[in-house]
Amino acid sequence: MPLGQRPGDKSESRYCGVETEFHDDMPHLLTESLSGGFDFIVAPLIDPSYRPSCMTNGGSGSSVLPVAASDLILSPSQWSSHVVGKISSWIDLDSDDEKVRLDSEITLKQEIAWASHLSLQACILPPPRRASCGNYAKCVNQILQSTNNMQLWLRVPLQKSEPMDDDSANANSDFSGGSMFDSWEWWNSFRLLCEHHSQLCVVLDILSSLPSNNSVGRWFGEPVRAAVIYTNSFLTNARGYPCLSKRHQKLITEFFNHSVQIVISGSLLHDISGESIKALPANDDDSHLEVIPPRHALRPYLDYVAYLYQRMDPLPEQERFELGYRDFLQSPLQPLMDNLEAQTYETFEKDIVKYSQYQRAVCKALIDRVPDENASTKITVLMVVGAGRGPLVRASLQSLDVLRIKVIILQAAEETARKLKVYAVEKNPNAVITLHSLVKLEGWEDIVTIISSDMRCWNAPEKADILVSELLGSFGDNELSPECLDGAQRFLKADGISIPSSYTSFIQPVTATKLYNDVKSHKDLAHFETAYVVKLHRVARLAPCQPVFTFTHPEYSKKSNERYKKLCFEIPSDSGSAVVHGFAGYFDATLYKDVHLGIEPSTATPNMFSWFPIFFPLRTPLFVATGSPLEVHFWRCSSTSKVWYEWCVTSPTTSPVHNSNGRSYWVGL
Amino acid sequence: MPLGQRPGDKSESRYCGVETEFHDDMPHLLTESLSGGFDFIVAPLIDPSYRPSCMTNGGSGSSVLPVAASDLILSPSQWSSHVVGKISSWIDLDSDDEKVRLDSEITLKQEIAWASHLSLQACILPPPRRASCGNYAKCVNQILQSTNNMQLWLRVPLQKSEPMDDDSANANSDFSGGSMFDSWEWWNSFRLLCEHHSQLCVVLDILSSLPSNNSVGRWFGEPVRAAVIYTNSFLTNARGYPCLSKRHQKLITEFFNHSVQIVISGSLLHDISGESIKALPANDDDSHLEVIPPRHALRPYLDYVAYLYQRMDPLPEQERFELGYRDFLQSPLQPLMDNLEAQTYETFEKDIVKYSQYQRAVCKALIDRVPDENASTKITVLMVVGAGRGPLVRASLQSLDVLRIKVIILQAAEETARKLKVYAVEKNPNAVITLHSLVKLEGWEDIVTIISSDMRCWNAPEKADILVSELLGSFGDNELSPECLDGAQRFLKADGISIPSSYTSFIQPVTATKLYNDVKSHKDLAHFETAYVVKLHRVARLAPCQPVFTFTHPEYSKKSNERYKKLCFEIPSDSGSAVVHGFAGYFDATLYKDVHLGIEPSTATPNMFSWFPIFFPLRTPLFVATGSPLEVHFWRCSSTSKVWYEWCVTSPTTSPVHNSNGRSYWVGL
């Protein structure tokens, strides 16, 4: 049964498995495990003493595989829902002994074929037994080319830069890595050989000591499906119960948040008497379990994992809303070239946080613009350019209310309230219709003038004190705010204010296997040279963000909106080597003075949901060895009809320039 | 006019150019150079003092480019045949000064556009001025995407690991590289950014000191179009004439052999009086030049280059025959699945060297097999499997003649001549027809029995003493000789002899830009996972060959014909870093005892032309830094219907396994 109910969480991490030894009574094994509270078993499918070469040479002519159970012993749904196959751990496909190598190859293929026949969802491949695993990867790659939907999970220890100790004995690996061992490099090499095959995933063996946080962080950009925790990794609390170290607890929680399933392995090492069961920090739902007589030996560990699951906070509403968007690539909007749909306006208008930031900015600008003594006489001309269905008009007008409330609170003279004249300029004729209704509905007819025109060609009847716009994309300038505002600043007074007054884009290198595979699945160049809007989730952020392009408004220097920036990232050396699948992009905008809004992670405006990050992929995953600098170039280019980005890497290795001349991805002017 | 007539040489290296300064009398410049014996000029197209930003700011409103000559001044064919454009050398696209950068970018685009308008065949791009040239490459890449057929030749000094000295002043480069400077890395980074664009080529500036041979060797895998020799790189011989060092001479000769044109640059530094002209080591044809009055100032250098050209040996006949095949990718034959055509038989039957090796092998085998005393009674059964149109039957029978001649020479008894019974087994019914005619024509009816059958299923009426076959491909086993001979050895006596008795394949890593681009031009994965037969020419062999797979015949061990080999190459450290586009493959076969034949370069059988090397491409060019080992894996795999290779690299970086399950390239059984 699931570890617990966590509102909003529909991920597989609710399910917990148990690793078992080879057993020829599968039904018993399964019943015992399921009734003991586990959701699935990780079980060997073939007698581990089987060797193909012995069968043919010394055998009695019978060449029936010594399987744990025939397919008829369990129902198809039992096999596929509750059994993860475990490939014989003795196999060694890179052995120097050719006989061992051939036996291993045959066994691997036979076991996978059998698992596939049983329609298992996944098989776990044992860890490579040597640093070089070229032949193992080649055979797995061959199998992946012709396997149905079954996933293959390569098992590797979560370990870096330390020789293996006894804790890894359960991992069935006799690898004797030197002091520079990093299991992530093993995995990386294996999956590169297998060409990032989408059915090749990872199982991590969690040992009692954990590598650095940065090093562990790399795994969150990888397709980790399960984490095996050994009973000997558990500590013992004061009352004799198993528990985990703080760092292990934090790690398990992160696994839960990244849809990684937990598997318990090993034997009972904590002797708990029956009486103390009720003292367990488990949830109340578990109480009914006591009617089932034989308690599973590993139940105390399962209970502890369930406790960790249940004590997590429920997913915040915004996260729950965005669940469906996680790691889902979307094409960026083209609001200048295309007209947005009502549904799109609807979604973005709900972003209360964003509009309250605008309202604060307009407030501050009004106060600065109009001294208290002129408030009653001076009418401030405010133009909302790109008014859409009116949210910025509303925010601007609400700023008047705010000022009025302030007047009341401060007991100031009523005259200090500011007066506004608003122009709402919008090029989308459909949105203009809604604007008219809104103005009528709200009774703003005296204050608001609606202009149905592209701001770049409107001939304004007067000049504005304040120009308010929200033309920002996930990467700041990528929806062509600079070009639009260059067109609009003709009708801004020389000392007028633009809100926003500036914005800056940011990037950081990321590992994002899922995104890379999704881009790759299109099998063309164009998708590798396109930027995507995406709610980043299964992503490893490898280095802090760095600023890329900045635009300031108004801009009277006749400076071009083309830009070039060279950036050098340093991945923390305790991360180890890493693979870069592309760059996550963000923006931060200064609306007015200290009022900003943005999505750059270190300064992101909380609870704002209008923008997901942007993702610039790399055509070839880039391996960055520990300590190597990562040199990246970004260009913003333009022609008479479009604006586009080009990007490339020149260190540690050189990539092609992506999206030359905007051949694959551009934003229309 | 061309440097001279070299029989067989139709390459562009016959033509020599001269570099000129900016000159607004183009026709005069051109006439002077052509009448002076040069074939083309390398000339600036725009006044080097031009700066776009000065034009618009301080100019008189006129924005006409200050070109050297209007397009009408020369005829279109003069422009395109005799002028290579030289882009202004002041441009610095990676300057930190934005104004310089933008001026450079505009100028570059304007000059290329102008050259393109003139239909020039090529423009020379000045050397990058800094170690990092990302923006320069990005702009050139943009230009390449939209340029017609014009080539862009990036100019770089031929220099490695030494700071630039005064000799490079003419290269117009202010780059101050440290002691680790390697101009090849510059080029490599530039062309990687430009994605190996086929119109991006190199011009090498030859300085007075040359890097190591290994380092220079890398350039022969690159698209080097011209080499510039400066007058100050010439030495002075005893009589005051310019000459070059031995190493420079050798280099120039190699350039000639690789279609690289020479360009002379600089001013006259050797004062030669008119009288001594006749003493020049030039060919007689030059005598007519004396009627043309104004002798070109750089003529002595041209004459010396012409002398180097003319003193080269003519191309050997075989090379001349193979000229058209140089670097031309061909699909390997599938002689098992397809029947060869008459034309193919015709070509291969002309390879006298090959058949004489077979004849020697059969001779030795016969002598070993039949002691002199048994010669008159013992009839040796020799089977030619895969007899084709009969060349191996002929070679086998000729071995009898050889033995007979030996008998005569040694005055031995006539009886010591051996007796043969020959079976000619051939599966191609068309070739069998020719075989019958041959046997009748030669009167071999009593000796030769023709069998129209696949050797794998023929039921032989008796067993053979000697099995002769020639089923070898460029990579040895790639035409499935192992599988065929496994089938044929059923009818070989237990102590019988197979000719060949074994064969081994070899590979070596190569730089081969031309081949990579040809493979890439297909724009699909399959062509990157296919092996090609190709006469390697513009290729840099980066490390000595290493053996891959060996097959021995007869083979009674029931060993599979699948193979796996891991190889580790070390590129000599004085080569510097290198890029690997793939692996050149060869074979060597032991026919019998010390009689071998093969194409592995260090032991290749001279004057044999039946096999070109094979080329296994890599999907992504692999950068190998100085001193990094190159770890390569090769597999020979088989199923019931086909045999194929898979290959990958695991160091310095990991590639995908190529051709998994033979998805792109295989040989049918």
Q: What is the per-residue DSSP string for B618-657? A: EEEEEEE-TT-EEEEEEEEEE-SSEEEEEEEEEESSPPPP
Query: Do A378 and A252 share a structural domain?
Result: no
Which residue, chain included where needed, has tokens 């004190």? Answer: A465
Question: Which residue bears the tokens 């698209």?
Answer: B223
A110 and A28 part of one domain: yes
Tell me if B488 is assigned to some domain.
Answer: no
Q: β-strand B578-592 against B642-651: which pairing, if any?
A: unpaired
**Is A212 in CB contact (< 8 Å) with chain B?**
no
Token representation of residue A74: 């369990």
Task: Name which of B142, B623, B650 is nearest A134 (Cβ-Cβ).
Answer: B650
Beta carbon pairs, A and B, within 8 Å: 100
Scan for tokens 């003193």, then name that residue. B311
Tell me whether residues B132 and A650 touch, CB distance under 8 A.
Answer: yes
Cβ distance B635 to A138 less than 8 Å, yes or no, reads yes
List all residues 6 or more positions away from A216 whose beta carbon is below 8 Å from its beta carbon: A158, A210, A251
| Beta bridge pairs of residue A17 | A40, A263
> Is residue A486 assigned to a domain?
no
Residue B311: domain span: 12-54+66-315
Q: What is the pLDDT of residues A466-475, one digit of tens each?
A: 999 999 999 9
Is B533 or A338 the better-scoring residue by pLDDT? B533
Decide which of A450, A470, A490 is a domain's last residue: A470
pLDDT at B157 > cutoff 70 = yes
Q: Residue A38: which of A301, A319, A411, A239 has the closest Cα?
A: A301
> A512 and A439: one domain?
no
Binding site annotation covers A355? yes
Residue B204 pLDDT exceeds 90: yes
Instruction: Tell me, yes or no, whether A478 lies in a domain.
Output: no
Q: Which of A203-207, B292-296, B313-317 has the lowest mean pLDDT?
A: B292-296
Least Cα separation, residue A221 to chain B (angstroms): 19
Distance CA B269, CA B255 (A): 24
Kindly report the number of other CB atoms within 10 A of residue A11's CB atom.
16
Q: What pLDDT is recorded for position B165?
A: 43
Q: Do A127 and A156 contact (CB within 8 A), yes or no?
A: yes
The whole-number pLDDT of residue B161 equals 67
Report the range out of A558-562, B399-403, B516-520 with the highest average pLDDT: B516-520
Strands B224-230 and B200-206: parallel
Please indicate whether residue B199 or residue A419 has the higher confidence score (pLDDT): B199
By the CB < 8 Å criterion, does B134 face chain A?
Answer: yes
Confidence label for B58 from pLDDT (cuts 50, 70 and 90): very low
Question: What does the mean pLDDT of chain B come to?
Answer: 90
- A183 plus A279 within the same structural domain: yes
CB < 8 Å to B656, chain A:
141, 192-195
Q: Which residues in chain A are closer than 8 Å to B560, comparing Cβ atoms?
A: 102
Residue B421 belongs to domain with CATH number: 3.40.50.150
CATH of the domain at B546: 2.70.160.11
8 Å CB contact of A135 and B564: yes
Query: DSSP code of A522?
Result: T
Q: Does A53 touch chain B (CB under 8 A)?
A: no
- As a whole number, mean pLDDT of residues B442-455 equals 94
What would the mean pLDDT of B366-384 be, rounded to a whole number? 89
Within 8 A by CB and 6+ apart from B183, the residues are B156, B157, B158, B159, B160
Domain count, chain B: 3
Give the pLDDT score at A163.
39
pLDDT tens figures, B12-21: 888 999 999 9
A78 — contact with chain B (CB < 8 Å)? no
User: Distance (Å, rounded) from C-alpha A289 to C-alpha A52?
Assistant: 44
Give the gyration radius of chain B's Cα atoms.
30
Contacts of B642 in chain A (CB under 8 A): none
Q: How confident is the model at residue A272 (pLDDT cuts 50, 70, 90)?
A: confident
| Domain-ending residue, one of A470, A489, A524 | A470
For residue A455, say whether it is annotated as part of any ligand binding site. Answer: yes
Contacts of B303 (CB under 8 A, 6+ apart): B37, B280, B282, B286
Q: Give yes or no for residue A166 having a pLDDT over 60.
A: no
Residue B236's alpha-carbon distances to B170, B207, B243, B244, in angstroms, are: 20, 16, 6, 8
* A1 part of a folded domain: no
Catalytic residue among B479, B483, B529, B646: B479
Average pLDDT over residues B483-502: 95
Q: Per the annotation, does B455 bind a ligand?
A: yes
Chain A positions in Cβ-Cβ contact with residue B663 (cut-off 8 Å): 145
Cβ–Cβ contact A188 with B under 8 A: yes
Residue B225, phi then psi, degrees to nearest 5? -100, -30
The 3-state DSSP class for residue B178 equals coil
Q: Is A138 on the interface with B (CB under 8 A)?
A: yes
Closest-approach residue (CA) in chain A for B645: A138
Of B335, B599, B374, B361, whose CA–CA distance to B498 is shortest? B361
B322 is catalytic: no
A426 annotated to bind ligand: yes
Residue B311 and residue B348 share a domain: no
Q: Which of A654, A663, A666 has the most B C-beta neighbours within 10 Å, making it the best mutation to test the interface with B?
A: A654
**Residue A274: predicted pLDDT:** 55
Q: Using a CB-CB distance cutoff of 8 angstroms, which residues of chain A are in contact with residue B137? A: 657
Q: How far is A650 from chain B (nearest CA, A)?
A: 7
Q: Identify whether residues B19 and B145 lie together within a single domain.
A: yes
Question: What is the distance between the alpha carbons of residues B345 and B507, in angstroms, rounded to a whole number?
Answer: 27
pLDDT digits (tens, 9 = 90+) for A191-208: 999 999 999 999 999 999
* Band of pLDDT at residue B6, cut at 50, 70 and 90: confident
Q: Are A296 and A394 found together in one domain?
A: no
Q: Tell me, yes or no, if B138 comes closer than 8 A to chain A by beta carbon.
A: yes
Asked if A84 and A44 count as a contact pair (C-beta separation under 8 A), the reply is no
Which alpha helices (DSSP H) does B296-390 contain, by range? 299-310, 317-322, 342-349, 352-369
Binned at pLDDT 50, 70 and 90, residue B170 comes out as: very low
- Among B102, B145, B633, select the one facing A663 at the smallest CB separation: B145
Residue B145 shares a structural domain with residue B41: yes
When pLDDT is averaged across residues A594-599 and rounded to a whole number, the result is 97
Question: Does residue B611 lie within any of the structural domains?
Answer: yes
Q: Which residue has the tokens 């997913």?
A: A315
Asked if residue B283 belongs to a domain, the reply is yes
Q: Is A191 helix (H, G, I), strand (E, B) or coil?
A: helix
Contact between residue B597 and residue B530 where contact means Cβ atoms under 8 Å apart: no
Hey, are the CB atoms on B648 and A564 less than 8 Å from each other? no
Residue closest to A78 by CA, chosen among A116, A45, A48, A39 = A39
User: Which residues of chain A lie closer than 8 angstroms to B145, CB-CB?
Assistant: 660-661, 663
Query: For residue A147, what is the DSSP state?
Result: -
Q: What is the pLDDT of residue B116?
A: 93
Which residues of chain A make contact with B650, given a CB cutoff of 8 A? 132, 134, 189, 193
Q: Which residue of A has its CA nearest to B623?
A: A653
**For residues B339-346, average pLDDT:** 88
The burial of A41, by beta-carbon neighbours within 10 Å (0-12 exposed, 13-18 middle, 19 or more buried), is given as buried
Q: Residue B411: what pLDDT? A: 66
Distance CA B430, CA B202 (A): 50
Q: Which of A48-57, A133-142, A587-596, B395-404 has the lowest mean pLDDT?
A: A48-57
Distance from CA of B54 to the nearest CA of A (A): 16
Question: Token pair of B551, please?
Answer: 């097959």
- Split at pLDDT 50, 70, 90, the class of B142 is very high
Interchain contact, A648 vs B146, CB within 8 Å = no
Determine whether the annotation assigns residue A345 to a binding site. Answer: yes
Look at B655 and A192 and tell me if their CB atoms are within 8 Å.
Answer: yes
Report the mean per-residue pLDDT for chain A.
90
Q: Which of A90-104, A362-376, A567-581 has the lowest mean pLDDT?
A: A362-376
Could you tell me if residue A95 is inside a domain?
A: yes
- Judge if B533 and B387 occupy the same domain: no
Which of B470, B492, B519 represents a domain boundary (last residue)? B470
Q: Does A515 lie in the same domain as A629?
A: yes
Q: How confident is the model at residue B400 (pLDDT cuts 50, 70, 90)?
A: confident
Please report the DSSP string for A611-651 in residue order.
---EEEEEEEEEEE-TT-EEEEEEEEEE-SSEEEEEEEEEE
* Nearest Cα residue in chain B from A647: B138
CB distance B193–A648 less than 8 Å? Answer: yes
CATH code (residue A75): 3.20.20.150
**For residues A211 and A160, is the Cβ–Cβ distance under 8 A?**
yes
A521 contacts A329 by C-beta, under 8 angstroms: no
pLDDT band, very low/low/confident/very high, at A219 (cuts 50, 70, 90): very high
Q: How confident is the model at residue B337 (pLDDT cuts 50, 70, 90)?
A: confident
Tokens of B212: 């190591």
Let me know whether A166 and A250 are in one domain.
yes
**Who's near A574: CB < 8 A, 6+ residues apart?**
A212, A214, A215
| Same-domain check for residues B529 and B456 | no
CB contact under 8 A, A138 and B646: yes
- Provide the annotated active-site residues of A: 470, 479
Pick from A102, A146, A189: CB nearest B661 = A146
Q: Is residue A468 within 8 Å of residue A384, measured between CB atoms?
A: yes
The CA distance from A644 to the nearest CA of chain B, in Å, is: 12
Say yes or no: B56 contacts chain A, CB-CB below 8 A.
Answer: no
